[in-house]
Structure 1
Amino acid sequence: MLLVGIGGKQVFVRSSEIKEILRPKPLTPVPMGPDHMIGLANIHGQIVCVIDAGSVTSLPPCHKKVTPHTRFLLLRHAVMHVGIWVDEVSKIQQVDHSLLAIADNNGESISHIEVEGVRSELLHCNALLHEV
Structure 2
Amino acid sequence: MDKNVAQSKRERYLTFHIGSEQYGIAIDRIKEIIAMMSITKVPNIPAYMRGVINLRGSIIPVVDTRLRFGMEYRESDMHTAIIIVEVEKISIGFIVDRVEEVSSIESSSLSEPPKFGSSIDTDFICAVAQIEEEVVMILDVLKLFEADELVGIEQIEQTQTQGE
Q: TM-score range by the shorter chain?
A: 0.7 to 0.9
Find the counterpart in structure 1 of residue 108 from structure 2.
98
> CA offset at residue 32 of structure 1?
2.6
Match of 1:121 in 2: 137
Q: 1:53 Cα shift?
A: 2.6
Match of 1:15 among 27, 30, 36: 27
- Corresponding residue for 2:161? none
Change (3 A) 1:62 1:83: farther
Runs of 4+ in structure 1 deviating by more than 4 angstroms, as ranges, are none
Unpaired segments ≥5 residues, structure 2: 1-12, 116-121, 150-164
CA shift for structure 1 position 78: 4.6
Q: Is the 8 A contact 2:66 2:96 kept in 1?
A: no
Normalising by structure 2, we get a TM-score of: 0.66
Q: CA deviation at 1:77?
A: 3.2
CA, structure 1 residues 10+49, in 2 after alignment: closer, same or farther (shift >3 Å)?
A: same
Q: CA deviation at 1:20?
A: 0.6
The percentage of aligned residue pairs carrying the same residue is 24
Q: Cα deviation per residue 1:73-94 (whole Å; 9 max; x = unaligned)?
A: 1012353221100111012211
Which structure has the larger Rg over C-alpha atoms?
2
2:58 corresponds to which residue?
46
Q: CA RMSD in A?
A: 2.5
The 3-state SS of whatever aligns with 1:93 is: strand
Q: Which structure 1 residue ranges, 5 or more long, are not aligned?
A: none
Structure 1 residue 36, shift from structure 2 partner: 1.5
Aligned 8 A contact 1:53 1:62 in 2: no
The number of aligned residues is 128
